[in-house]
């Protein structure tokens, strides 16, 4: 069984690839995240990388550590650099034995590092798709990554919290018989696989 750190790295690498495919005039495009255009979504993704990296390094990462990061004149390059940083933090010796605080998920509960990295993996499978569909392309995620993301998505609580302002995922959407694993991940995360900007 491939470890969660490697699977997460594959999801993040795909998010870097699709971000690198964004053309200069496309950063204002709408995304499946209704509050963010494409540039704002990438800034959010970078900020989440920074917050997770701080948490996994054992720093007391408050909510501010997860705030969107401005990415300058070359957003894709800035995003790739912060993606490298979070992957290095996840792979560092001793990381897997830590428990970490993720204040966006719970203000006080500490999660085992592999669980936290699983949350990150799900987020970047979904966000890689968000970026790709916004520019009219597709993601290339292998079956192991998708299976791991589905396992995490199935455990995300449902209920009123999903309709609260700033919720990470919207309410679960219906799916159809024979839906792909990616489509199941998306609908469990409140995304319509049929979304088109």
With the CA atoms of 149, 155, 156 and 157 taken in that order, what torsion angle do they form, in degrees rounded to the nearest 10? Answer: 170
Over the stretch 52-75, which tens digit does the pLDDT of each residue have?
999 999 887 789 999 999 999 999
Q: d(Cα 81, Cα 16) in Å, to the nearest integer?
A: 9
According to CATH, what is the number of the domain 4-144?
1.20.120.450
Q: Between residues 17 and 61, which one has the greater pLDDT?
A: 17
Are 145 and 123 contacting, i.e. CB atoms less than 8 angstroms apart? no
Distance set, CA 7 to CA 3, 79, 91, 175, 192 (Å): 6, 19, 12, 25, 24
C-alpha angle 104-110-111 in degrees, rounded to nearest 5? 90
pLDDT of residue 1: 42
Q: d(Cα 19, Cα 138) in Å, to the nearest integer?
A: 12
Q: Write down the H helix ranges in the chain.
A: 4-20, 38-56, 75-91, 113-134, 143-153, 181-188
pLDDT of residue 2: 62
pLDDT of residue 167: 66
Question: For the chain, what are the domain ranges?
Answer: 4-144
SS3 112: strand
């Amino acid at each position: 069984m491939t470890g969660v750190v490697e699977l997460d790295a594959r999801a993040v690498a795909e998010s870097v690839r699709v971000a690198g495919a964004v053309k200069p005039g496309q950063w204002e495009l709408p995304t499946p995240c209704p509050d963010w255009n494409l540039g704002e979504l990438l800034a959010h993704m970078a900020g989440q990388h920074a917050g997770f990296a701080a948490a996994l390094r054992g720093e007391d990462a408050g909510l501010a550590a997860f705030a969107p990061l401005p990415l300058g004149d070359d957003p894709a390059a800035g995003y790739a650099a912060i993606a490298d940083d979070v992957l290095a933090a996840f792979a560092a010796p001793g990381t897997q034995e830590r428990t970490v605080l993720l204040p966006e998920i719970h203000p006080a509960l500490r999660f085992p590092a592999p669980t936290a990295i699983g949350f990150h993996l799900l987020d970047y499978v979904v966000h890689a798709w968000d970026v790709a569909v916004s520019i009219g392309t597709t993601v290339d995620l292998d079956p192991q990554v998708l299976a791991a993301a589905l396992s995490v998505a199935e455990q995300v609580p449902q209920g009123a919290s999903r309709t609260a302002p700033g919720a990470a995922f919207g309410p679960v959407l219906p799916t159809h018989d024979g839906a792909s694993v990616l489509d199941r991940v998306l609908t469990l995360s409140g995304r319509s696989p049929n979304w088109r900007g």
